[in-house]
A and B are shown apart, each in its own frame.
Chain A
Amino acid sequence: MSTVDLIHDHWRRALGEGRLELTGCLDCDRIVGYPRSRCPYCMTDQVQWRRLSGRGRIHSYTVNRRGTGRYLDADPFVIAYVELDEGPRMLAHIRIDPEQTEIGSRVEVVAVGPDQPLTFTPVPS
């Protein structure tokens, strides 16, 4: 059983093409992460999709060495909060050697399939 989720559908389509998009309010101009169909500041439904740069920096990270569910037998993987250049901090995977991960380093979004998490990769320096 599933319910219609137009916001998530749009987010997924954009990510599938490597575009990071969030909703922004036409009244108060604030961007919200994760996206919503109504502005949680001023309650209006006049929200609009904004395409973001896709870039940010690692705000915090962990190396999950005991995955569960679909990650039960996975090698250790990096989960991070990425602070986007536009402001919001979002939970994501980083495609990186766990031992090379550092808070503060620059990352950019990559295109992912519908079952994949929001994913970033280090910006080549």
Chain B
Amino acid sequence: MNPRPVLARIAGAYEHPQRRITDATVPEVIAEVAYAALTDAGFGPADVDGFFCSQVPGLGNVAMAEYLGLTELSYLDVTEGGGASYPMHVGHAAAAIAAGKCRIALVAMGGLPLSGAGWRGAPGPEEPYEGNVGLTTPAGYALAAQRHRYEFGSTAEQLAEIKVAAAHHAQHNPHAVLRKPVTVEDVINSPLISDPLHRLDCCVTTDGGGALVIISEEIARQHPDRTVKILGHGEAVSHAAMGSIDLITTGAARSGPRAFDEAGLTPADVDYASIYDSFTITVLLSLEDLGFCEKGKGGQFVADGHLQAPDGGLPFNTDGGGLCNNHPDMRGGMIRTIEAVRQLRGEAHPAVQVPDARIAVVQGHGGNLGTRSAAATVILGAEDA
């Protein structure tokens, strides 16, 4: 008899025995069922590398991953399909496992509609402890910048070079919000928002959006227009877990190697970089974590126009980035990806087109580097790469 092909297997299962719960929070219910299913399967939180969980309070499943002690994640999914969400997650987990993206996936859900405390409007699990601190997004990133300055001596001027490079590119983008070139002095003389970050260290806020169409190799064979190859991908989650936040290392330190390994490439192969630039410090930390320079040397790396197209050592964010061009819905990863596609198709503005751009890296971050965040790296190649 022929064996059936198997996508993946279910090794643990648990249903909460109660039907009305009055002595627990939503995160506590999710922890109870998640831990019981893990116990049934013979694993613990540190074994889980794929997490599938939709509609939980706070920063979706990043906050829930922190609460549960999931420290080794390489794949996340927050698919929301109402009641269909969980069979969808099963399929997505199986596909991720079959693609080698993770090996031990946790799919979890929970809610308390009878208490009125379901996922709509419920606070994240960390909210009671952090919610009244008044940590704005800039303040969180500032905590990272301040620690990096303390450990490595990076300066305000070095961070400013990142904005200078983005603004240098944005002058060629008719759609960019901020098109005027700026100097290092302009940046460090702009008002402090949350020390040590100045206003010009921070990205713009915009409406708008973006979309991509991604096709199979089979469709690509029949597709007449130029395509861009997706060569590698990696994800990671960073959080404080049990109170051990690392402010100077982002998830890119794990998502980057995963993506480069899958692509069979290294940072030395990269011609163009789209690096998430919610703040200048986000770029500096990402460049270190992706391996373009050693940890702590990001300040020196970005000096002297190194990020400027077309002649710099690593042209970056040639559309102007989130710092100058666009950051729709406060989530800039789509626009970062689109500029990388332009560069690899040779469709960037001529003044900033990297000659013979063949390999690009896209680095995204979400959440707050000062508390908890998701990171994703994608390696793209030109059609003839």
Contact of A2 among B117, B125, B193 (CB under 8 A): B117
Chain A residues in 8 Å Cβ range of B125? 34, 36
Q: How far is the CA of A40 from the CA of B371 in the complex (A)?
A: 18
Contact of A41 among B67, B139, B242 (CB under 8 A): B242
Q: Are B136 and A66 in contact (CB under 8 A)?
A: yes
Q: Are B139 and A89 in contact (CB under 8 A)?
A: no
Contact of A64 among B24, B67, B136 (CB under 8 A): B136
Q: Does B18 contact A (CB under 8 A)?
A: no
Q: Are B134 and A77 in contact (CB under 8 A)?
A: yes
Q: Does A37 contact B (CB under 8 A)?
A: yes
Q: Are A43 and B44 in contact (CB under 8 A)?
A: yes
Q: Are B136 and A40 in contact (CB under 8 A)?
A: no
- Interface mask (A37-58 → B, CB under 8 Å = 1, otherwise 0): 1111111000000000000000
Q: Are B35 and A3 in contact (CB under 8 A)?
A: no
Q: Does B126 contact A (CB under 8 A)?
A: yes
Contact of A87 among B128, B139, B243 (CB under 8 A): B243
Residue of A nearest to B248 (CB): A60
Residue of A nearest to B128 (CB): A8
Q: How far is the CA of A61 from the CA of B194 in the complex (A)?
A: 10
- Mark out the residues of chain B between 112 and 142 whose CB falls within 8 Å of any chain A CB in the assembled complex: 112, 115-117, 121-122, 125-126, 128-130, 132-136, 138-139, 142
Please tell me the number of chain B residues within 8 Å of chain A, measured between CB atoms. 56
The size bracket of the interface on A is 35 or more
Q: Does B180 contact A (CB under 8 A)?
A: no
Chain B residues in 8 Å Cβ range of A43? 35, 38-39, 44-45
Q: How far is the CA of A77 from the CA of B128 in the complex (A)?
A: 20
Contact of A70 among B128, B134, B244 (CB under 8 A): B134
- Interface mask (B37-63 → A, CB under 8 Å = 1, otherwise 0): 011000011100000000000000000
Q: Does B245 contact A (CB under 8 A)?
A: yes
Shortest Cβ distance from residue A45 to the other chain B in the assembled complex, whole angstroms: 8
Shortest Cβ distance from residue B93 to the other chain A in the assembled complex, whole angstroms: 20
Given contacts A4-B22, A64-B139, A66-B136, contact A30 B242 (CB under 8 A): yes
Q: Does B236 contact A (CB under 8 A)?
A: no
Residue of B nearest to A74 (CB): B134
Q: Are A1 and B134 in contact (CB under 8 A)?
A: no
Q: Are B245 and A36 in contact (CB under 8 A)?
A: no
Shortest Cβ distance from residue B89 to the other chain A in the assembled complex, whole angstroms: 21
Most buried by A among B68, B132, B192, B244: B132
Q: Does A95 contact B (CB under 8 A)?
A: no
Q: Are A40 and B68 in contact (CB under 8 A)?
A: yes
Interface segment, B25-33, B205-213, B257-265, B318-326? B25-33
Chain A residues in 8 Å Cβ range of B104? none
Q: Are B133 and A117 in contact (CB under 8 A)?
A: yes
Q: Does B217 contact A (CB under 8 A)?
A: no
Chain A residues in 8 Å Cβ range of B46? 41
User: What 5 A-B pairs come out closest when comparing CB atoms?
Assistant: A40-B69, A88-B243, A33-B243, A1-B116, A62-B142
6 contacts between A and B (CB under 8 A): A40-B69, A43-B38, A68-B136, A79-B134, A81-B247, A91-B130
